[in-house]
Amino acid sequence: MQRFAYSSRTIAAHLKRGGLIAYPTEFCYGLGCDPNNQRAVQSILKLKQRPQHKGLILIASHYHQVARYVQEVPLTEQGKLQNTSTQAVTYLMPARPCVPRCLRGAQDTLAVRLTAHPFAKQLCLRANSALVSTSANFSGQRPARSYAACQRLFGDKVWVLRGRVGKYKQASTIRSWTNGKIVRN
């Protein structure tokens, strides 16, 4: 089990208040927040200098944490979302109409990944929620891969959680849920 410098309750409260966190994921540190807090989502976009039309990724520990954001997936197909391969896969899934543009960007889809990274998975479980997960960097720059790099980049604007990034050599593959087409490899 992963050890957190902040208690689960403290992290959950920080996220609910609109706080931002940086945490290790499969390839790099992720920058995240509560996807239900539009002010926090806008803060991430502003901090990263990321255009809203690009959309963001949500990570979760299990399908039920993202079910409210995407069109219903039959139980028989939910297993396809699990990431157990040597490369993390993020799926562009048909979004529910209520999903705000700040999450899905200019698309009618939402990028979703059921994370296999132990720290990120535990973080979603402890927050009892999906989390926004975008690379911890400024748009167009290399993503931070360590606690120290995140501290240098974001200072006190973000709670940086200590942990190790996964062993993947590149960011997640992004694949269309409906037709399987690879959008980013």
Q: What CATH code would you report for 8-184?
A: 3.90.870.10
Phi-psi bin for 54: left (phi > 0), alpha (psi -120 to 50), beta? alpha
| For residue 2, pLDDT beyond 50 | no
Is residue 100 predicted with pLDDT exceeding 60?
yes
Average the pLDDT over 172-183 and give the result. Answer: 93
Burial 99-118 (b: 16+ CB within 10 A, else e): beebbbbeeebbbbbbbbbe
How many Cα atoms within 13 Å fall on the side-chain side of residue 184? 11
Segment 28-51, tens digit of pLDDT = 999 999 999 999 999 999 999 999
Query: Average of pLDDT values for 72-91?
Result: 85
The closest alpha carbon to 59, from 105, 116, 2, 20, belongs to 116
Task: Write down the pLDDT at residue 5.
Answer: 66
Instruction: For residue 87, name the pLDDT band (cuts at 50, 70, 90).
Output: confident
Q: Residue range 2-16: average pLDDT?
A: 78
pTM: 0.92
Dihedral pair phi/psi, residue 182, rounded to 5°: -80, 125
Assign 8 a pLDDT band (cuts: 50, 70, 90): confident
Q: Is the pLDDT of residue 132 over 90?
A: yes
pLDDT digits (tens, 9 = 90+) for 101-123: 999 999 999 999 999 999 999 99
**Token pair for 185:** 């490899």
